[in-house]
Structure formats: C-alpha cells, structure tokens
Amino acid sequence: MKRNIAIVAGGDTSEIVVSLRSAQGIYSFIDKEKYNLYIVEMEGRRWEVQLPDGNKVPVDRNDFSFTNGTEKVVFDFAYITIHGTPGEDGRLQGYFDMMRIPYSCCGVLAAAITYDKFTCNQYLKAFGVRIAESLLLRQGQSISDEEVVEKIGLPCFIKPSLGGSSFGVTKVKTKEQIQPAIVKAFGEAQEVLVEAFMDGTELTCGCYKTKEKTVILPPTEVVTHNEFFDYDAKYNGQVDEITPARISDELTKRVQMLTSAIYDILGCSGIIRVDYIVTAGEKLNLLEVNTTPGMTTTSFIPQQVRAAGLDIKDVMTDIIENKF
C-alpha cells in the first residue's frame, strides 16, 4: 500500500512564493510509483490540500487528514518545504511531533536555532566555526550610525535575523544608508542583524544523512551579477552557479567536512545546505545554515545532486524512508 505524502508549502512570510515553487519541484522529484503525493498549502489558518482536479479542500488539523468525496485520507509523512515561519522555525515540527507524523527535516530545537541567523552563528562560533563580526537589534532597539561604523565597519550587511531569500537585506556602503536599511529589515522580522562584509568567494554545500549513509554533495560556487546574492540573483537568473565549485580538492574536502560537522553539531535531519564565504588565505567563514533549502528544479540542492551523479528521486526516497 502506498504511503500518503504531504508536501507542505506556503507559510506566513514573503518567502511564500519561493515555497510554492519548491513544492512543485519536490512533487516532480518524488517517486509517484511508491507514494501518493499531495501539496498542502498553509497560510495563516488556511490549510488546504490541492486535489488532482484542481480543487482545494481543508485539512483537518485534529489528525492532519482531509476528505476527498467520501474517502478520508490520513497523511503518513510530511515533506516540509515552507521557507520561513511556521515551517522553518520549529513550530510546524512541534505540531507533527504531537501528531506522531514523521517529517523530512530537522526537529524543533535545530529548526529554531538555525532559523535565527544570529543565534545559530554565535552557537556554532563556540565550536570553532569562523563567522563575521555582527550585532543584533530587537524590535524597539536602535543604534547610531557611529556605533555601526565603529563596531562593524563599512561596508556591512543589514538584514533580518529571521527568514531568507534575501528579503529585507541591504548592502550598506555609507552612513546615510544605515537607518533606512534597519527600517527595511524590521519590515521583514522583529530581529535585525548588522553583519560585517566579508570579501571572498561564496560557496554553498548540501548534505543529508540517513541511518545507513552520509551524503555530502559537491559545493557550488556562487558568482552574482549584482552587489550581493539578492532575490533577483537567486530567482531571476542574475547569477552564475558553478557546480562543482572552481576550488582545490583540499578546500572542497574542508567545505564538505565542515558541512558534515555542522550537521552533527546542530542535530540536523533531512537535507540541509550551508553557505560560506572563503576569504584571503582560504579561510572558511560561515554565512548561514538552511534546514529547508529551496528545491525548485534549478535550486542548489538538485544541481549538486546531479553533479554528484545521483538521482534526485532516490535522494527523496532516502529522506522519506529514513523516518520509518
């Protein structure tokens, strides 16, 4: 009997459009001979299942099921691809834990830690991981232009500490840009990160582990056509994504070993992607950890899977079956 798989997408942030694209990617990747697939859209209190005929029906949150005509369908597994709250910050993971429904990604603690960039980076710093100098502002707090220049320097990045897809991110080059950038970032989240600029090569590396194996994917080199790897670079093609990255075998191994170590330190599950900047002297600096990375057909993880000579369908099966 086929298992019923919910591909859970949507969410309550600006990343909803990216999430829905990832859901279509995952739908195309999972083996339909083995599983019954349904996309579940979540936005606020609206939880709906997309039916094959195009109609949508509500999800019963009491047991995470839905009714299709006279048939009640209960989900056996959730593939979470919400980028942002509630799917990336641990909230949805807590719900599925209480429902005793296995899911694709990290548990509550790892999701909550990695969703907050400042918390995650400071936590990993204690394990010897190199990070940029940064400071955190919470809603209601302020900082003068002079303090930013003195403590962090220019240029710097001002961005939401929560969320992703480069929404609300500004590369600040002058004092006059600081306060507008803070306002912009607070428009996306209640915590804002002011982070020192690091000049170097941007890399990203995917990894997943099951009970039987560890798979560390070839790193991708990210060469943006813009000031930084912003939304247009990520989703509108204004970037060169080179997989495998044009780096030495030794640096490739270091990136992969650190990615694997971060996976274990955080207690991750499913597929993660870790972003880095390589600065002068081949120093490897952490940017952030993504525990629900984008999964459109052109996203980094599918690219890296292809470069590794793997079949994305088999990877999806690994992720699902590892939870049973």
Residues 6+ apart with CB under 8 A from 54: none
Peptide bond between residue 86 and the one before it cis (omega within 30 degrees of 0) = yes
> How many Å apart are CA 99 and CA 110, to the nearest integer?
19
Closest CA to 234 of 244, 247, 225, 245: 225
Helix axes 108-115, 91-99, angle to 10 degrees: 170
299 among known catalytic residues: yes
Q: Kindly list the distances between the CA atom of residue 81 and the CA atoms of 1, 27, 70, 75, 280, in Å, as whole numbers in the listed order.
A: 25, 11, 29, 16, 35
Does the annotation place 318 within a ligand binding site? Answer: no
Residue 57 CA to residue 88 CA, distance in Å, equals 24
Neighbouring C-beta atoms of residue 199, cutoff 10 Å: 8
Annotated catalytic residue 188: no
Contact 120, 288 (CB under 8 A): yes
Residue in 104, 134, 166, 299 annotated catalytic: 299
Q: Which residues make Cβ contacts (< 8 Å) with residue 249, sequence separation at least 6?
A: none
- What is the C-alpha separation between 284 and 287, in angstroms, rounded? 10
User: Exactly one of 104, 134, 165, 269 is catalytic; which is it?
Assistant: 165
Give the closest residue to 296 by CA, choosing from 283, 305, 286. 305
- Catalytic residue, chosen from 15, 88, 188, 241, is 15
Is 195 a known ligand-binding residue? no
**What is 106-159 written as a DSSP string?**
--HHHHHHHHBHHHHHHHHHTTT-EE--EEEEETT----HHHHHHHT-SSEEEE
CA dist., res. 256 & res. 278, Å (int): 13
Annotated binding-site residue? 322: no
Contact (CB, 8 A) for 22 and 174: no
Local structure of residue 177 (DSSP, 8 states)? G
The residues annotated as belonging to the active site are 15, 165, 299
Residues making up the annotated binding site for Mg(2+) are 275, 288, 290
